[in-house]
Amino acid sequence: MLGDRTFRFDGSTSDLAQQFYRLHRDGVTLPSLPAVTVPSAVQKRLADAGLSFADLPGLLQRALLWDAGFAFDVTGRLVRIWTLDGRTMAEIAVPKSEFSNVCPLQTCSQPDNMSWYKSVECPGDEILRVARCVADEVHDANSDLSMWATGGNVSMTPEMLVYKHDWYDVRSRSSFLVHAIHTRKRGESPAYGQCSRSAISAYMYGALVIPCHPLSRLNSTIQVARMSEPRPGKIVAAWLKQVSHAGQDESSDDEGISTTTIAIIVVAAAIAAVCAAFAFCCWRRRRRRAKSLSARAIGNSGEDTYVAVDTAKSAGLQLPGSAGDQAGSKTSAWDDAVIAAVRIPFDKVVMGAVISRGGFGEVYRGTYNGQHVAIKRLLPERRRDLRQIERFLEEVKLNASLEHECIVRFVGVAWDSLSDLSVVSEFMEGGDLRAALARFDEQQRPTGFDAVKIKIALHVAHALTYLHSLRPMVLHRDLKSKNVLLNSALDAKLTDFGVARERADRTMTAGVGSSLWMAPEVMLGERYDEKADVFSFGVLLSELDTHKLPYAHAVEPGTGRKLPDTAVLQLVMLGRLSVLFTVGADAEMVALGRACVSVHSEERPTAAEVLHRVHLLYQEHQHA
């Protein structure tokens, strides 16, 4: 008989699969999960057992997802879970004895006279010291529930919900973010500091809560090194085998279909498939034409369904003398609370030599309070354009809101007048990645992926995962080697958020960024999302491999002359040209790069998936 007879679902274990099986064994049924996109890790286990997800009982569906490392957010979207130190999902609950060493506990009572425990005031970094799991980004408002709890009972059907806990601790003056897996819905759980939802009775069954590290906030050298996909548990494997054998027994009893009937069905199905394929091709051709026309219309309409961080009207800011600065208006960009909070004394900023120049601004080397810094200013011809200044200030506001070890650190903004507005950030002495790759080429450094290059890719993946985990989500939209800066140890940080946007809808249409790194859907003016950044990351991987600019191998037949960018982009949009990876380069990195530059955005991995795969490869190269 399957299952552990000594098992008790009391919050001391995270073996939800065991509880699901016990409920199944006791005759409890749950409806099948609606519209779940089955993860590839789950599909593989089902294929090995000869089963499909839709054929599984509702309880087994939940047990399988949990065992493979998946839970849900409040929207019903799957959230990926990784375990630390090679644990199974049954082993990620933090024991009371361990949690009480770092945080105080509140004791509550259940109707069965058993005690259960929950966390009370505790800094987030202390909670995460004992966490045993990592959770992907969560689409959720902030939760006011406890971040750790025990409790439960034999008849409880556990939920698998990941809630976000984001708060500012006044005493330590620190911001914290913890993702916690809750086995009871928010509306059915007692509030923070309470033992019951009832005003009549103080008794209520507890429910397991498991704190996890948020993936976007992981330390790149410590916690990430410990994370892995969960080891499969025994109960789910045995349960799948049981269901598979039961299905085989049923099919062996079905003798009512003759060989002739089967042949007729097969032929009919083949004919239907051919007809369907022909119809699909016709539909797809018409749809592409319609999309092309729609894209042109959208491009000319001026409409935008996103909260832009690079347009003046998004901020509601007015500059003195601008069209919106009407008589009686008391609001100006200089009065904005965020800008005021990050302003630094202009006389403390000392300008040095120009180190780079772009289409909108130039960057100087300089000092601030004796420290080496980078100072960005608008080009002289743009400093009198109020729209450009407002956009520049929007970039300041976005930079001020970003805080991650793989993003160039923002220091502040200084000005004495409109024309000398200066954004100050940390100085990266290694220069940009494009220049470094050119040096690699000159030095005849081997192509392919070594530990240093994979480390650079890892740091960029960390930055992208962080941006895509923010709410609203931030898309970089101009990821390229020029916008990746290096220090002397070749640690990488992402920079230049001049065209970044906060995503306020599911897709965007305004095409921006550098064309050779641009995703096909952006080139076409079609709707796009965060997968456009992933495409650019794939192009960046090609640069790391070959040291060359994207599509440098694209030449005219016969003459050998480089194809013009317009021809290159046309071929990329048609799916007839892709970036190059060298023969003999790390096969896993090449496979990841090719997945990232898939023409179809839905086939590209998420930034979080990219981060996980690159980290595993980095570990392998370090130990090689």
Cα distance between residue 207 and residue 195, in whole Å: 11
Query: Which tops the pLDDT comparison, 352 or 317?
Result: 352
Average pLDDT (201-216) is 86
The mean pLDDT value for 237-256 works out to 69
Helix (H) or strand (E) segment spanning residue 223: helix 223-226
pLDDT value of position 523: 85
Least confident of 40-54, 145-159, 211-225: 211-225
Q: What is the DSSP letter of 508?
A: B
- pLDDT, tens digit, for every residue of 427-452? 999 999 999 999 999 999 999 999 99
Q: What is the mean pLDDT of the chain?
A: 81
- Write the DSSP symbol of residue 528: B
Decide: 454 and 614 in contact? Cβ < 8 Å: yes
Please write the tens of the pLDDT for every residue from 20-34: 999 999 899 999 998
* pLDDT, position 198: 66
The alpha helices in 342-494, defined as continuous H runs, are 386-401, 433-442, 451-469
Q: What is the pLDDT of residue 567?
A: 83
pLDDT, tens digit (0-9, with 9 covering 90-100), for 583-613: 888 899 999 999 999 999 999 999 999 999 9
- Which of 67, 478, 491, 533 is the catalytic position? 478
**8 A C-beta contact, residue 89 and residue 16:** yes
Query: Residue 313 pLDDT more than 80?
Result: no
Model confidence at 53: pLDDT above 60: yes
Which helix (H) or strand (E) segment holds residue 20: the answer is helix 16-25
Task: Report the alpha-carbon distance of residue 123 to residue 50 in Å, rounded.
Answer: 47
At 202, the pLDDT band (50, 70, 90 cuts) reads low
Please state, in angstroms and as integers, the Cα–Cα distance from residue 34 to each residue in 37, 50, 408, following that order.
9, 21, 42
C-alpha–C-alpha distance, residues 349 and 202, integer Å: 60
Q: Is the pTM of this model over 0.75?
A: no
> What whole-number distance in Å separates Cα of residue 383 and Cα of residue 385?
6
Q: What is the CA radius of gyration of the chain?
A: 28
Burial tier of 222 (Cβ tally within 10 Å: 0-12, 13-18, 19+): exposed
Q: What is the mean pLDDT of residues 540-548?
A: 96
Q: Tell me which of 143-147, 248-252, 270-274 is least confident.
A: 270-274
- pLDDT value of position 210: 98
Q: Over the stretch 176-189, which tens digit does the pLDDT of each residue have?
A: 999 999 999 988 88
pLDDT at 133 over 70: yes
* 462, two tokens: 């960390």
d(CA 524, CA 119): 51
Q: Dump pLDDT digits (tens) for 120-130.
A: 889 999 999 99
267 pLDDT higher than 60: no
Whether 15 is a known active-site residue: answer no
Least confident residue range of 93-107, 173-187, 374-388, 404-418: 374-388
